[in-house]
Amino acid sequence: MKTLIKFGTLITSTKTERADLLIENEKIVRISPNIEASDAQVIDATGKLILPGGVDAHVHLSLPMFDTISSDDHYTGGKAAAFGGTTTMIDFVSHDAGSLHDNIQRRRSEADALVCIDYGLHMNITRYSDALEEEILTLNNDGVSSIKVFTAYNNRLRLSDGDIFKVMRFAAKAGILTMLHAENGDIIDVLIDEALANGHTSPIWHAKTRPAWGAVEASLRAFALSAQADAPLYIVHMNSAGEVDQLEYARSKGLKVMGETCPQYLLFTESDLEKPDGAKWICSPPMRTKADNERLWQGLKQGIIQTLATDHCPFFYNGNSPIIYEGKRIAIPGKELGKDNFTKIPNGLPGIGDRLPVLWTKAVDSGFMTPNKFVEVSSTNPAKIFGIYPQKGTLQEGSDADVVIWDPQKKVKYGIAHAHHRTDYNLYEGWELCGYPETVFLRGNIIVNKGQWYGKPGLGKFIHRGIGDIL
């Protein structure tokens, strides 16, 4: 069946145009003014904007942590994403027993039957062996063109600098992008031990034991490793002004390095952890200060930072109290696990459904950012970097018909009721938003329309990603 969207204003990262858009067989087949198609379902988008579906390049679904698991799976996380205008997400594969291929196939066996929007996978590398080079060189066969390494989480996820250097060289040979979590794990361990020894157990100590200087130092060290390995690098969830400074410096030297930030680092500070419900804001790395917020905004607007993702990894605030989700009672242990010890609070926040409406209100409706820049950082750039452009991330003839009809005038008092994350709180509860998705298409299929859900498990597909661009 054909669908024709008429009378809207199309927004891409590079242009704004009044045009109609024709969808057939899950693809955009024509973009032109005054399209006529008598056999098409016609949707009148007068006064509305037509955007490409959002691409969230950093999510964690059904992620085991401490004595629980993140509360969104590939269905519920995808549903929340869709209500917020995101139609593609990229999750992570844990580096468990067996080969990298085995781990990827195991993750896909968990996800494919559940996923309701399209998704890809990054591969974590959290232990080194001589067999890794050959395995990394064949990751592209599995449609995985990015890996992630850590300079924190000692004795769990962290590799030594030497091993990171070797892994980056292997990856570069295959055209695979290395992503890096930049904190100083040694300093964190010392500060946590000292805090607990002195009886400091409240949520604010999560931030106090992960100082911003550790992220600044680790990011500069990572850029130096990238230069010496001659390998591209992407720093995830940048959260401090100093990281933006280091990224700007590295890019000025011609290094093939890029960065990502998340809404929580633009809009909240570590003072939120001092609230009575401060555990809701615990994520790693933590929020910083107002000055860090401002520098991150500047970095995003100026193109120093290339993408806005979420690091979506939700947990219940009180897993002892069930919520109703799609008519069923559900409760999953959550942040109450650390009520007496901040080190036992699961690290992570809901956000995949919030990203686009919150960014639009704070950046576009406010006049800080153009609609084109909004599309660039939230859809086009992540699609380019992670090897799915122009299939995703744009409105072009031949692209997947991942299309959002966006109402720039719609006002919403936001919160749990709109977000659809499978958890019991929302960081933006009660915020007044202006600009919101009205209709969301996944490959031409309407999955959200005027607040109603039409998606289903298994509608989404795994995306076999290619080699991405260095922006």
Task: Note whether 400 and 37 are within 8 A (CB).
Answer: no
Task: Note whether 377 and 360 are within 8 A (CB).
Answer: no
DSSP state of 168: H
The parts of the chain modelled with pLDDT lower than 50 are none
In the chain, where the domains are located: 2-52+391-414+432-453, 54-372
Buried b (16+ CB within 10 A) or exposed e, 386-417: bbbbbbbbbbeeebbbbbbbbbbeeebebeee
Write out the two tokens for 165: 């250097």
Instruction: Please report, as a single letter, which amino acid is at residue 306.
Output: Q
Ramachandran sector of residue 387 (left: φ over 0; alpha: ψ -120 to 50; beta: rest): left
pTM above 0.95, yes or no: yes
Half-sphere exposure of 329 (CA within 13 A, CB side): 4
301, burial (CB in 10 Å: exposed 0-12, middle 13-18, buried 19+): middle
Q: What pLDDT, on the 0 to 100 scale, is given for residue 458?
A: 98
3-state SS, residue 287: coil
CATH of domain 54-372: 3.20.20.140
| pLDDT tens profile 203-253 | 999 999 999 999 999 999 999 999 999 999 999 999 999 999 999 999 999
Q: What pLDDT, on the 0 to 100 scale, is given for residue 1?
A: 84
Give which of 45, 161, 26, 12 is closest to 461, Cα–Cα. 26
| pLDDT tens profile 104-147 | 999 999 999 999 999 999 999 999 998 999 999 999 999 999 99
Q: Is the peptide bond before 211 cis (omega within 30 degrees of 0)?
A: no
The span from the CA of 70 to the CA of 331, in Å, is 11
Q: What pLDDT, on the 0 to 100 scale, is given for residue 374?
A: 98
3-state SS, residue 266: helix
CATH number for 2-52+391-414+432-453: choose from 1.10.10.1100, 2.60.40.10, 2.30.40.10, 2.60.120.680.
Answer: 2.30.40.10
To the nearest 10°, report the CA torsion of 447, 334, 62, 431.
30
DSSP H or E run through 133: helix 132-137
Task: Note whether 442 and 53 are within 8 A (CB).
Answer: yes
What average pLDDT does the chain have?
98
The span from the CA of 311 to the CA of 148, in Å, is 13
